[in-house]
Amino acid sequence: MECPVCKKPVPEGMSGSCKHCGADLEALHMITRLQRTDKTKTMLMWMGFLLCALFLVLWLVLILRDGDAVIDDQTARQSDPAIMQQEIEQLQTMNNHLRKQADSLASLIPKPRKKEYVVSEGETLFLIARRIYGNGLRYVDIVRDNRIGDPDHIRAGTKLTIYY
C-alpha cells in the first residue's frame, strides 16, 4: 500500500499519519477495508449463485431420471391388455362410487327460495333490498339476479325475482 499524497510505500499495519509527508492515513485504511469487504461479498454472492445452479442441475437430473422410470412403467402397462382391463374396471368402480356420493350430497344442498316482487311507485332497489334482506346495500344482488342494466331507473310494475 502507498501513501496517496507522496506515493511512498506505507507499512500495512501502520495507522495515523505517513512518516514521510504527514498525510492522514485513517481514511486510506478505511477505504482498503471497505474494498476487501466488497470483494468478500461479491465472492460470497457468486459462490451462492453457483451453489444454487448446482442444486438446480442436480434436481433436473433427478426429475428426468425419475420421469424415464414413469414412462417405462406406463409403457409396460400399455403393452399388457390384462393390466389395462383391470385398471379400467378399477376406474369404473371408483367413478360409480363417486357418482353415488355426489348424488347423495346434492340432495343435502338446499334449493334457493325465490319470490316474485312487483315494484311499486316511488320504490328504489335500495329500499326493496333493505325491506327484504335487512340491508339496502344488497340491492346489487337484485341487480345481478334480474340483469338490470341501470339500477337507478327502475319502473313501477317491474317484476323482480328475489332469492332469499
Tell me, yes or no, whether 19 lies in a domain: yes
Closest CA to 25 of 44, 41, 6: 6
68 and 126 within one domain: no
Domain count, the chain: 2
- pTM (global) more than 0.85: no
Average predicted confidence (pLDDT) for the chain: 84
Domain that holds residue 159: 114-163
pLDDT digits (tens, 9 = 90+) for 17-63: 778 888 877 777 777 777 778 788 888 888 989 999 999 999 888 88
Determine the pLDDT at residue 123: 94
Q: Which parts of the chain register pLDDT below 70?
A: 1, 13-15, 66-79
Q: Which amino acid is at 152?
A: D
**Last residue of a domain, which of 60, 75, 90?**
75
CA–CA distance, 109 with 159 (Å, rounded to integer)? 27
Domain with residue 128: its CATH number is 3.10.350.10
